Amino acid sequence: MLPNPKPEIQNRIRLTAEEGAWLAGEAGPAIRRAMEIVAALAQIYGAERLTPVASVQISGVSYRNIGAAGLAFLRKWADEGASVRVPTTLNPAAMDLEAWAEQGFDPTFATQQQAVIAAFARMGVGGAGGESGPFPTCTPYLVGNVPRLGESVAWAESSAVAYANSVLGARTNREGGPGAIAAALVGRTGAYGLHLAENRRATLHVRVRVALRTISDYSALGALVGQRAGSRIPYFEGLPLERGAPLWEENLKALGAALAATGAVGVFHVAGVTPEALAGPVLAPAHETTTVADLAPGYAALTDAAARPALIWIGCPHASLAEIALVAELVRGKRLRLPLWITCARPVKAAAVAQGLAGDIAAAGGRLYADACLAIAPVRDLGFAAVMTPSAKGACYLRNLAGVSARFGTLEECIHMAVTGGE
């Protein structure tokens, strides 16, 4: 270990010789700045050391959110020759990087969004699973970036963080935008929070006493429990879920996304299903207990009843191939009166095209868009003042980030709305 060369980064954090050299600027200005960010965050959160990470997932990709200042920040780092040290993927952009014109995006906006992606590409940010990229997605674990049990990663997207920690048993805090970029450049993050086993025990025992039939039911459950949990760690008992059963991962994907949207939940455990709950007791001795016996308030709280949807959005978090197959099944042979957009990772779209699912959906009038997230898109400028979705997180963010009205319903209700147009 070296003495810390930066006086403002106190000696509380033990750095390795290599980390100390980076902080001293021996690997250039970009790495020095990245080390300063990583070490400063580690100190703020009380870490005693840094931990290597196996992969990084970066948020703050939409040009609508980061704007010209954010683009300049990324270009500066890329101009300095910064390059990621570990496999790194991107959260969604505002638009499909290829089909943006069909979506109705303004060419000026599209050019800036492409420039953001290009800056990340210059830093070596790629696709998941070793594929070339970048292809932005909030579900890197569906397309090859699957952290192992107990492995530390530095991911930024809250739903992906919940999935990695809970379903995969990997370890990550929710990284901020610049923090995640810095972590990618040095392959390190602070060893605090959910990287430490002692901080992963459940403090809220959730007794589920209601039937869960659909993926959106898990989403509604997550919305209700997220509100109650805040930043506590829920332990679910009573979920009708078996590891390996059809859609078990999709159900947990929806549950975790909603928990992280209405609360600040970074990890949850499910009795008999998630890896840490399977390995032994996960409930902390000091915990509270809550019971969920009705999902209706979860749906109602995220529905603007008077709003008439102009668009149906599926794929928040990005849809899996199995979810796209469900949609294809429901729309096959029908003619949709409202636009139906399904967002997913680019490789998932390619698989859906190859299997004919995209064709079935297109024949009904629906579209599959890769790379995109509507919550961070200028939805109103695209002509949609109200959107319906089977995702609690989607409804929550459509309201709070995109500034449009939302309706939250089951997948069947969403497709019914698309077919009838609400009449």
Could you give the CA distance from residue 139 to residue 322 in angstroms, rounded to a whole number?
Answer: 14
Binding to ligand F3S, residues 353-372 (CB under 6 A): none
The tokens 């928040």 sit on which residue?
316
- Which stretch of DSSP H or E encloses residue 50? strand 50-52
Residue 30 or 395: which CB sits closer to ligand F3S?
395
Are the C-beta atoms of 352 and 358 separated by less than 8 Å? yes
Amino acid at 272: G
- Comparison of 214 and 343: residue with beta carbon closer to ligand F3S: 343
By CB under 6 A, tell whether 373 contacts ligand F3S: yes
CA angle 307, 311, 317 (to 5 degrees): 105
Measured in whole angstroms, the distance separating CA 129 from the mean position of its chain's CA atoms is: 17
**169, 274 contact by CB (below 8 A):** yes
Nearer to ligand F3S, 22 or 105 (CB): 105
Q: Cβ of residue 373: shortest distance to ligand F3S, in angstroms?
A: 3
DSSP string, 226-279: HHHHTTS-EEEES----TTSTTHHHHHHHHHHHHHHHS-----EETTTSHHHHH
Minimum CB separation of residue 271 from ligand F3S in Å reads 25
Question: Residue 340 CB, nearest distance to ligand F3S (Å)?
Answer: 15
The interface with ligand F3S within residues 48-87 (CB under 6 A) comprises: none
**Choices 33-41, 284-292, 304-312, 315-323 (CB under 6 A): range interacting with ligand F3S:** 315-323
Bridge pairing between strands 50-52 and 188-190: antiparallel
> How far is Cα of residue 373 from the mean position of the Cα atoms in its chain?
10
CA distance 138 to 19: 30
Q: Which tokens belong to 221? A: 């459950």
**402 scored as a contact of ligand F3S (CB under 6 A):** no
The secondary structure of residue 84, as a DSSP letter, is -
How many angstroms separate the CA atoms of 323 and 315, rounded? Answer: 8
| Span from 64-72, 93-101, 176-184, 393-401 in contact with ligand F3S (CB under 6 A) | 393-401
Indicate which single residue of 94, 394, 395, 409 sits in contact with ligand F3S (rule: CB under 6 A).
Answer: 394
Site size toward ligand F3S (CB under 6 A) is 15
Residue 254 Cβ, how far from ligand F3S at the closest point, in Å? 10
Minimal distance in Å, beta carbon 401 to ligand F3S?
A: 8
The answer to whether 37 contacts ligand F3S (rule: CB under 6 A) is no
Interaction of residue 393 with ligand F3S, rule CB under 6 A? yes
Q: How far is the CB of 376 from ligand F3S (least distance, A)?
A: 6
CB of 333 to ligand F3S, least distance (A): 28
- Interface with ligand F3S (CB under 6 A), residue from 159, 166, 214, 274: 159
- Using rule CB under 6 A, residue 397 touches ligand F3S: yes
DSSP, res 313? E
Residue 327 found at the interface with ligand F3S (CB under 6 A):
no
- The answer to the question of residue 375 lying near ligand F3S (CB under 6 A) is yes
Query: Of 20, 60, 87, 92, which one interacts with ligand F3S (CB under 6 A)?
Result: 92
Tell which one of 317, 378, 390, 409 touches ligand F3S (CB under 6 A): 317
Interaction of residue 257 with ligand F3S, rule CB under 6 A: yes
Going edge to edge, which strands form the sheet with 154-155?
88-90, 56-58, 154-155
Query: Does 384 sit near ligand F3S (CB under 6 A)?
Result: no
Judge residue 284's burial from the number of C-beta atoms within 10 Å of its C-beta, 0-12 exposed, 13-18 middle, 19 or more buried. Answer: middle
Neighbours of 413 (CB within 10 A): 17
Beta-bridged to residue 93, according to DSSP, are 372
Distance of closest approach, residue 150 Cβ to ligand F3S, in angstroms:
25
Work out the angle between the directed axes of helices 248-262 and 215-229 (0-180°, nearest 10): 30
Site for ligand F3S in 96-155 (CB under 6 A): 138
Judged by beta carbon, residue 125 or residue 375, the one nearer ligand F3S is: 375
Query: Which residue, chain included where needed, has tokens 């794929």?
Result: 315
Q: Does 349 bind ligand F3S (CB under 6 A)?
A: no
What is the contact surface with ligand F3S in residues (CB under 6 A)?
Answer: 91-92, 138, 157, 159, 257, 316-318, 343, 373, 375, 393-394, 397
